[in-house]
Amino acid sequence: MIRLPTIAAALLLPALALAAGEKVSYPSGDAQVGGYLALPQGKGPFPGLVVVPEWWGLNAWAREKADAFARKGYAALAVDIYRGQVAEDPETAHELSRALPPDRASGDLRAAFAYLAGRKDVDPKRIGVIGWCMGGGFALDLAEEAPVAATVVYYGRLPTEGATIAKIKSPVLGNFGAEDKGIPPDSVKAFAAKAEQAGVKTDLKVYPGAGHAFASSPTGPNGPKYRPEAAKDADARTDAFLARTLKKG
């Protein structure tokens, strides 16, 4: 049985339980790019979080993730990586991802970080980045290029060069699937070894019986890949990691 709080009890719930999302825009090079910003209630300054979507782009699931992080106390900015385009099927997602210039994507992520860092209600020293799938790889790219305080990767592309890994100054949490053909466990082990050599702190977990996108949306194209127990554990690890690295105290 699910117990719902009474009105009196609800009034005692923390203000952070509420969040409001809105479309925002900010400069990236010569262009004006957009995103979806969800803020906790209150004055802040809040820890910030750059949210990098999967190869579908800034869809409803990505916005819901930003809302969820805002309810947990983060100023969460979900990046519109395709600048207005969203894929609803794998064929379109493949086309959009292949056509996405990596330099433009990296520039837009740096611009997202700068936008959060420039807000009065965000603590610029407590901004992290999180990404899934394609977004996980881009999250690591941002960690190499900006002073992020924490990096979370869900089954994203991993750098292989020691010099590149050494550019990462934040701790890295990673969640991967043992059955992922694109990001196999051996590549996770190799990344962990080179990260240790470079002095980069990592906490990487590979889930048996899980493949790519195991913690993504349980509905839509990714639905058959969803593994509820692994997803629950990975998300709990993420919450604990972000609270430890981005929240004061």
DSSP one-letter string for 161-184: -HHHHTT--S-EEEEEETT-SSS-
Average pLDDT over residues 141-148: 97
Instruction: Write the CA distances from 21 to 69, 170, 177, 245, integer angstroms.
Output: 11, 27, 31, 24
Rounded distance between C-alpha atoms, residue 150 and residue 3, angstroms: 35
Q: Is 186 a catalytic residue?
A: no
* pLDDT, tens digit (0-9, with 9 covering 90-100), for 47-88: 999 999 999 999 999 999 999 999 999 999 999 999 999 999
Give the span between the Cα atoms of 180 and 10, in whole angstroms: 42
Neighbours of 57 (CB within 10 A): 24
Q: Is the dihedral of CA 70, 72, 74, 76 positive or negative?
A: negative
Any catalytic annotation for residue 133? yes
103 is catalytic: no
Check 108, 212, 233, 235 and give the catalytic one: 212
- The model's pLDDT over 184-206, given as tens digits with 9 standing for 90+, comes to 999 999 999 999 999 999 999 99
Domains of the chain: 31-246 (3.40.50.1820)
Helix (H) or strand (E) holding 28: strand 19-28
